[in-house]
Amino acid sequence: MQRNLNLQRHAAMPATRQRNTCKRTQISVQKLVELRQIKIKSHTSEVDLSLMKHLKNFSGKDINIEDVDADFCYRFAQYLINNALIKPSSAKTYLQKLHAIMQEAVSMNYMAYNPMPQISKLVPKTPSKEKDYLSAEEVKRLHKTECPHIITKLAFLFSCYTGLRLSDIETLKWSDIQKQNNLYMLIKTQVKTSTEVRIPLSKQALEILDNVRYKKLSNGEVVFPMYSRTTTAADLKAWAKSAGINKHITFHVSRISFVTLSIAAGINIYVVSKLCGHSNVKTTQIYARMIDRTYIDAVALFENIFEQKQKNIKKAKKFNLIL
């Protein structure tokens, strides 16, 4: 089935075509590519060669740069997607390359201006793939299922309960866990954003830390001495399969699960955004829209992390985490 591409033409496009060349000598796009490669001392790339092939198939001849205008670009974009059956992302790559070539023509004084419209107006946006996340029931199943390496299991579950990225899990230290007003807090500067997050630790998160210490899994100051990321990915794949979870789980999935389960449990989205260290609540809202109402059983999984009950405080006192 042919994919339709709805493109809006520039309203300002002139009815009569105006000359857009500076030099009298005409030059083909292919020749311009060759000159550009000589200038930057580089070989012609596969993308360049493929672009030349598609341009020739589209027009039936070598394209002269003065043939390239906004209308040409719209028709070429339609050809790539509807006739050459190229994915929008690949079509975007070819059009970006053509844009760079046209810009080079301007810099070499072959053209007065770059005639190409914005690439976003030529290629439709590709719908983003819905991200995986875990339901409360699936998190419970992972709890009950053995993982090839126990440290991978505990680190992943801790991420589910705190929303920490893998980079922050890998660098988490015992000194990042502090007791404040009878509440255990995780206070850490994020590796990715260099911003600080302050996360009250729930009963489940504290139990994981207790497990790490009881099994003597930590390596000195580092809470979770992780294996290589390749090993970790293999662990997660095997673990999910053993638990009967048909999802590609990663530490990004655990982070998204923290967001979706927290919101499903009734925690204010702005609070969740702050806990995750999102710079903008819109990022959190993207994940919030993914929540299926059948996952409201998350309430049973997540306690109110701001009002710890007395029994959880007593449980927390068993930890020697004040460093």
284 neighbors 272 (Cβ within 8 angstroms): yes
In this prediction, residue 308 carries a pLDDT of 43
pLDDT at site 83: 79
Look at residue 108 in the predicted model and tell me its pLDDT. Answer: 83
- Residue length of the chain: 323
Cα distances from 132 to residues 79, 246, 251, 274, 290, in angstroms, run: 34, 10, 11, 22, 9
Collapsed DSSP state (helix, strand, coil) of residue 147: coil
pTM for this structure? 0.53
pLDDT attached to residue 289: 53
CA angle 297, 257, 140 (to 5 degrees): 50
Partner residues linked to 188 by β-bridges? 197
Q: Please, are residues 258 and 163 in contact by the beta-carbon 8 Å criterion? A: yes
**pLDDT tens digits for range 219-228:** 889 999 999 9
CATH 1.20.81 applies to domain 29-122: no
Query: For the chain, which residues make up each domain, given as ranges?
Result: 29-122, 136-316
Q: Report the distance separating Cα 193 and Cα 172, nearest Å.
A: 15
Low-confidence residues of the chain: pLDDT under 70: 1-26, 36-45, 117, 119-131, 270-271, 278-323
Q: What 3-state class would DSSP assign to 21?
A: strand
Q: What is the pLDDT of residue 312?
A: 46
Phi, psi values for residue 3, rounded to 5°: -85, 125
pLDDT 10s digits, 188-245? 998 888 888 888 898 999 999 999 999 999 888 999 999 999 999 999 999 999 999 9
User: Can you tell me the distance from the alpha carbon of 276 to that of 128, in angstroms, rounded to the nearest whole number?
Assistant: 22
Q: What fold is seen in the domain 136-316?
A: hpI Integrase; Chain A (1.10.443)
- In the chain, what is the straight-line distance between the N-terminal and C-terminal CA atoms, in Å? 64
In terms of phi and psi (left: phi > 0; alpha: psi -120 to 50; beta: otherwise), the region of 14 is beta
